[in-house]
């Protein structure tokens, strides 16, 4: 019976509360979103409006928004990725590497661009916590629940979800703001379906952006009522 369970069929085991929540936007960069980009993910481009709405909501409700940006250079890389790149049709050495720090492709897409005071974590691998200060930054903000959106769902999103889970964060994946592409014997849609169902079963909650905003608003209103009645 469990094998056929979809992500929306699981009952939530924690609530998303504004005062302890942050949004992590993973690798929504021009090198993934632009048409003809080196690692183009068309699905990610289509999801920009939903994610932009969620980002705007978080900003207006004082929920921190943190970004990650995939970058590489000679002394900032993982050996396997560096050595495997040629077989994947990728160029990772300067000056040809699209994701070399400072190049156009490493920039966050314009529609999702960080505000000057928002943090952008630079990473050279899949897990946003690996070889970065993300955990320390979130802890300093008092974050216990992490909303996760971005690309690619079966690479960087998956790695980060697992890492956040093992660091004891409550994880909530934004179902309509995570994406993949056709590769490794499966379509983008198949990758997303399998991963979202897996996340809900094993690592956290999975729900669309609008549902997240509704839950956050309800929690905020409930908190305000308690303060008034105290």
What is the number of helices (H) and of strands (E) in the chain? 8, 6
**Domain contains 8:** no
For the cut 70, the answer to whether the pLDDT of residue 1 exceeds it is no
**For 21-35, how does the pLDDT look when each residue is reduced to its tens digit (9 = 90+)?**
999 999 999 999 999
pLDDT value of position 168: 98
pLDDT value of position 75: 87
- Give yes or no for a contact between 18 and 61, defined as CB atoms under 8 angstroms apart: yes
**Domain contains 129:** yes
pLDDT value of position 93: 77
**Domain contains 7:** no
**Domain contains 144:** yes
- pTM given for the model: 0.94
**Domain contains 13:** no
- Give yes or no for a contact between 121 and 158, defined as CB atoms under 8 angstroms apart: no
Q: Tell me, what CATH number does 187's domain have?
A: 3.40.50.850
How many domains is the chain partitioned into structurally?
1
**Domain contains 11:** no
Structural domain boundaries enclosing 187: 19-229
**For 170-197, how does the pLDDT look when each residue is reduced to its tens digit (9 = 90+)?**
999 999 999 999 999 999 999 999 999 9
């Amino acid at each position: 019976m469990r094998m056929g369970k979809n992500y929306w069929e699981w009952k939530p085991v924690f609530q998303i509360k504004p005062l302890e929540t942050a949004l992590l936007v993973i690798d929504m960069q021009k090198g993934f979103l632009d048409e003809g980009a080196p690692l183009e993910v068309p699905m990610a481009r289509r999801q920009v409006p939903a994610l932009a709405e969620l980002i705007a909501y978080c900003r207006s409700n004082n929920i921190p928004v943190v970004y990650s940006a995939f970058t590489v250079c000679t002394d900032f890389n993982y050996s396997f990725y560096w050595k495997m790149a040629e077989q994947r049709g990728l160029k990772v050495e300067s000056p040809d590497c699209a994701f070399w720090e400072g190049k156009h492709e490493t920039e966050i897409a314009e529609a999702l661009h960080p505000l000057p005071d928002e943090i952008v974590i630079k990473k050279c691998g899949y897990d946003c916590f690996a070889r970065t200060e993300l955990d320390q930054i979130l802890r300093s903000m008092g974050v216990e629940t992490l909303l996760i959106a971005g690309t690619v769902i079966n690479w960087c999103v998956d790695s980060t979800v697992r890492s956040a889970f093992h660091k004891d964060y409550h994880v909530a994946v934004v179902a309509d703001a995570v994406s993949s592409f056709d590769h490794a014997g499966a379509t983008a849609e198949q990758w997303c379906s399998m991963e979202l169902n897996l996340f809900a079963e094993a690592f956290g909650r999975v729900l669309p952006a609008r549902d997240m905003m509704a839950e956050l608003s309800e929690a905020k209103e409930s908190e305000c009522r308690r303060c008034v009645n105290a």
